[in-house]
Structure 1
Amino acid sequence: MVAAEKAVREVEGLPLVVLRLGSIYGRGVMGSIDYALANVRVACEDPNRAFYNIFLENGKLNVVHAEDAARAILHAASWYLQGRRQGTRVFNVADKSDYGLAEYHKIVCDLQQVEFPSPPRVFRALARFALKIRWLCELMITQGSKVWIGLLNEHGIVSTPLNYSIDFEMSSTPWGISLDGSAFCEETGFTYQYPTLTQETLLQCLNYWRDLGAWPDEENCPGRKY
């Protein structure tokens, strides 16, 4: 992505607006938030679920709702053409949530009523370092996927786009996905309909999969708080 952006910016006089989108979420959108929902559901079945809570305080995940992402693209095109602007302009598009990865993890856990122990920071740092070893990361994905498939079979779910997954880059780097989208709003006048990620919008994402019959019920989950 960075290489492609660099290449087009080197073309002199090219009329272009580049939008760097945060992690997109929304009903039916397959993104980091939806994978986090599935990952927590899998971890809920593991008595050693503390290992899944390995996020450091400085890790970030800036997001943007799918509807705002679509509106931003149309808005940027209109702003550029109607203003008769020239050259290549680059903007980040991300809402104002500015949550850390650990905060997102807690929000997802609270939504599913899952209680997660918080391991010591040293343990979390070592676990994240281990995930830099790709084969180990792939092994964890394989094991988590087996649990997920077992849950689907147990609940009679024959088809779902959701799966257990680990974002290798996000897991092995300390910063995650960090974008400041304020310049796009200030310079172009864009406003977000979904300025922050809330429990309500996150619940809409989860209920979408529930309504499709593509989500294993959490009622008898061993890690659930009652």
Structure 2
Amino acid sequence: MSPQPTVLVLGGVGFVGRNFVAYLVENNLAAEIRVIDKVLPQTAYLNKRFQAAFEKVEFMQGNLSNTASVEKCFTRADGSSFDYVVNFAAETKFSQPEEIYEDRIYRLSINCAKEAVKRNAKVFVQISTGDIYESTGTASKEDSKTKPWNQMAQYKLKVDNELQNMEGLNLIILRPAVIYGTGATGGLTPRLICGRVYQHLKKKMEFLWTKDLRINTVHVDDVSRAVWHSANWYVSNDKQGTPVIFNLADDNDTDQEAINTHIRAIFGIETGFQGTIVSQMVKLDMSGATEEINEMHLAPWSDILKAYNIKTSPLTPYLDQELLYNNAVSLDGTKICTATGFTYEHPKLTTESLREIITDFQDLGIWPRD
């Protein structure tokens, strides 16, 4: 039996990173795990499961946009290099200045990939996004036309393209659909928060566009498993020097109505959609509409938190303008299955899986416990 690999997890305190770290620790998969992040675990609202996992790994605070910091982060105590490098690190906030994305997505990823080449890492797993594909009526495959519909995705695609041409890089690119699961503050979570707001207001919740707008999903546990599975497959099949791309999406083919079905079940509210005509009219002044929508949600959410004596919470119903356009996230996530034998353990989005997100936040004291 071959020795277990040593693993460097970049951006490991974030939502997906912390789940991946817990997966490695709980399944005793790595000989050594080092986690790098600019955010300290103590300030990151880690639940008890994640806290326990982080007690068993080495944590280093680091700025991965800085080459000197990257070099230090990549060096093991004995001076040797890590076998597997997984890059979850990236700016995740929408509508930031371009310089932020240039620094915290592009420069960061290129710095880390170059260091992985220099140290001859066996595999470098880059977490990209399904938002890079052109929004069409069909599910995008890995070779489908790209047309990023937000700035973050533009910079992710820029990274993807450059890494594929980087000589000596043993590269896997994973492009997930909307990731959900324990610890998610973005993705589907703002919709859940809106559901709680409309429950409080005793009003019907209506989203823009139509019920069949695709918002394909993938559970964070499956993302964690896919990272590890694909890295082992890459190394054991001697794919060295060959860039490989896999989409990650369950076979739920989630759309807006599927999500609303679960929201109705959780909060006991009516839901609906504005429809294409009204939504097109709203689109004429999307900036003003976004402001109005957020004002409608933010004040009641604040009132709810106050009523339950929750003084601070990282959770917000705020919806960024880029998320309100008629852009489908529709991915074909089957290639990783046929090529590597991977299977999704969460093939369907369920009401229970969304309740788990809420329960976890309640246990952390950042969501009202009814």
TM-score range, shorter chain: 0.7 to 0.9
Q: How does 1:70-219 map to 2 (within 5 A)?
A: 70-85=224-239, 86-119=241-274, 121-127=276-282, 129-130=283-284, 133-175=286-328, 177-216=329-368
Which AA in structure 2 matches 1:202?
L
CA radius of gyration, larger in: 2
Which AA in structure 2 matches 1:60?
R
- 8 Å contact 2:254–2:349 — kept in the other structure? no
Tell me the TM-score normalised to structure 1 length.
0.83
Equivalent residue in structure 2 for 1:61, among 207, 210, 215: 215
Q: Alpha carbons of 1:90 and 1:64: their partners in 2 closer, same or farther (altered >3 Å)?
A: same
Per-residue deviation at 1:36?
Answer: 1.1
Q: Distance in 1 between matches of 2:250 and 2:182?
A: 17
Q: Distance in 1 between matches of 2:252 and 2:311?
A: 35
Which AA in structure 1 matches 2:318?
S
Q: Distance in 2 between matches of 1:110 and 1:126?
A: 30
Per-residue deviation at 1:5?
Answer: 0.8
Q: Distance in 1 between matches of 2:292 and 2:262?
A: 26
The CA RMSD measured in Å over matched residues stands at: 2.3
**Superimposed CA distance per residue, residues 133-170 of structure 1 (whole angstroms, 9 cap, x where no aligned partner):** 23431343244212211111122111222111214333
Q: Alpha carbons of 1:119 and 1:16: their partners in 2 closer, same or farther (altered >3 Å)?
A: closer
Structure 1 residues without counterparts, runs of 5 or longer: 219-226
Tell me the TM-score normalised to structure 2 length.
0.53
Q: Alpha carbons of 1:47 and 1:207: their partners in 2 closer, same or farther (altered >3 Å)?
A: closer
Equivalent residue in structure 2 for 1:38, among 193, 196, 221: 193
Q: Distance in 2 between matches of 1:214 and 1:105?
A: 23
Q: Alpha carbons of 1:42 and 1:27: their partners in 2 closer, same or farther (altered >3 Å)?
A: same
SS in 2 for 1:90: strand
- 8 Å contact 2:193–2:316 — kept in the other structure? yes
SS in 2 for 1:158: coil
Per-residue deviation at 1:32?
Answer: 1.5
Which AA in structure 1 matches 2:346?
Y
- The total of aligned residue pairs comes to 214
- 8 Å contact 1:54–1:125 — kept in the other structure? no
Q: Alpha carbons of 1:114 and 1:48: their partners in 2 closer, same or farther (altered >3 Å)?
A: closer
Q: Alpha carbons of 1:46 and 1:125: their partners in 2 closer, same or farther (altered >3 Å)?
A: farther
Per-residue deviation at 1:63?
Answer: 1.5
SS in 2 for 1:44: helix
Higher RCO (C-alpha under 8 Å, 6+ residues apart) = 1
Per-residue deviation at 1:104?
Answer: 0.9
Per-residue deviation at 1:118?
Answer: 4.8
- 8 Å contact 2:216–2:250 — kept in the other structure? yes
Matched, 1:20 2:172: no
Structure 2 residues without counterparts, runs of 5 or longer: 1-155
- 8 Å contact 1:12–1:87 — kept in the other structure? no
Q: Distance in 2 between matches of 1:29 and 1:117?
A: 24
**Superimposed CA distance per residue, residues 43-68 of structure 1 (whole angstroms, 9 cap, x where no aligned partner):** 33446645x33242341112111111
203-212 or 90-99, which moves further after superposition? 203-212
Q: Distance in 2 between matches of 1:106 and 1:58?
A: 12
Q: Using the aligned pairs only, state the percent identity.
A: 27
Which AA in structure 2 matches 1:66?
V
Moved over 6 A (4+): none
Q: Alpha carbons of 1:179 and 1:49: their partners in 2 closer, same or farther (altered >3 Å)?
A: same
Which AA in structure 1 matches 2:180?
Y
- 8 Å contact 2:180–2:220 — kept in the other structure? yes
Q: Alpha carbons of 1:198 and 1:207: their partners in 2 closer, same or farther (altered >3 Å)?
A: same
Q: Alpha carbons of 1:181 and 1:6: their partners in 2 closer, same or farther (altered >3 Å)?
A: same
